[in-house]
Amino acid sequence: MLIAVPQLLDATAVHAVRTLIDGAQWVDGNATSGHQSALAKRNLQLSEDAPEAKQAGQMVLDAIGRSPLFIAAALPLKIFPPLFNSYADRQAFGTHVDNAVRIQAGTGFRVRSDLSITIFLEEPDAYDGGELTIETHFGVQQVKLAAGDAVLYPSSSLHRVEPVTRGRRVASFFWMQSMIRDDAARQMLFDLDSSIQALAADLGHGHAQIIRLTGVYHNLLRRWSEA
């Protein structure tokens, strides 16, 4: 399941987030790395407890809470607080798999990482390289989106960030635990929901078959969800 979420942050929100984080204290990105990731990771990151990161992260959480596409695709149960990273001067993140469980430093809060998300915070023509490269069952997919756009993908996938050879790539990234653990089941629910919404636009939400399909959706969600 690889889904782009256009304009998750609008231009005003992107500007507000960048204003906060650009003037903050950036540290070695390996501050949050597992053993495997630390071998491959070369970037900068905002500390999890930096006030700028917390404030900008809340803006991101507010935005995803307003996104029907994100909610339908992720069906989030728990969301790790958003983090922010930066790549420049040939910095990169080699091929890796995200840790299965993420624990927020200094707290007991933990998230099973079913899904990862990257929100691009720099326009793609402002830097060279920096593509998010994700290995899927259908081949290698490279993602480099407009500022404010996001991509949602399984945390279990092999992925990497290509070296940035010009400019600076800035993004927010984090993980979430979905109510639906299984990626294939989550994809089926997303496809069903998308079809219901498209049909409802033509037939109306009160149409008998729309009501029946909506019932199927919720009964499957009830059967498969962990909440």
96 is in an annotated binding site: yes
Q: What is the 3-state secondary structure (H, E, C) of the chain?
A: CCEEECCCCCHHHHHHHHHHHHCCCEEEHHHHCCHHHHHHEECEEECCCCHHHHHHHHHHHHHHHCCHHHHHHHCEEEECCCEEEEEECCCEEEEECCCCEEECCCCCCEEECCEEEEEECCCHHHCEECCEEEEECCEEEEECCCCCCEEEEECCCCEEECCEEECEEEEEEEEEEECCCCHHHHHHHHHHHHHHHHHHHHHCCCCHHHHHHHHHHHHHHHHHCCC
22 is in an annotated binding site: no
**In this predicted structure, what is the pLDDT of residue 108?**
86
Q: All domains of the chain, ordered by start, with CATH?
A: 3-178 (2.60.120.620), 183-224 (4.10.860)
**In this predicted structure, what is the pLDDT of residue 105?**
84
166 is in an annotated binding site: no
98 is in an annotated binding site: yes
pLDDT in tens, the chain (227 residues): 899 999 999 999 999 999 999 999 999 877 655 555 556 789 999 999 999 999 999 999 999 999 999 999 999 999 999 999 999 999 999 999 999 999 998 888 999 999 999 999 999 999 999 999 999 888 999 999 999 999 999 999 999 999 999 999 999 999 999 999 999 999 999 999 999 999 999 999 999 999 999 999 999 999 999 98
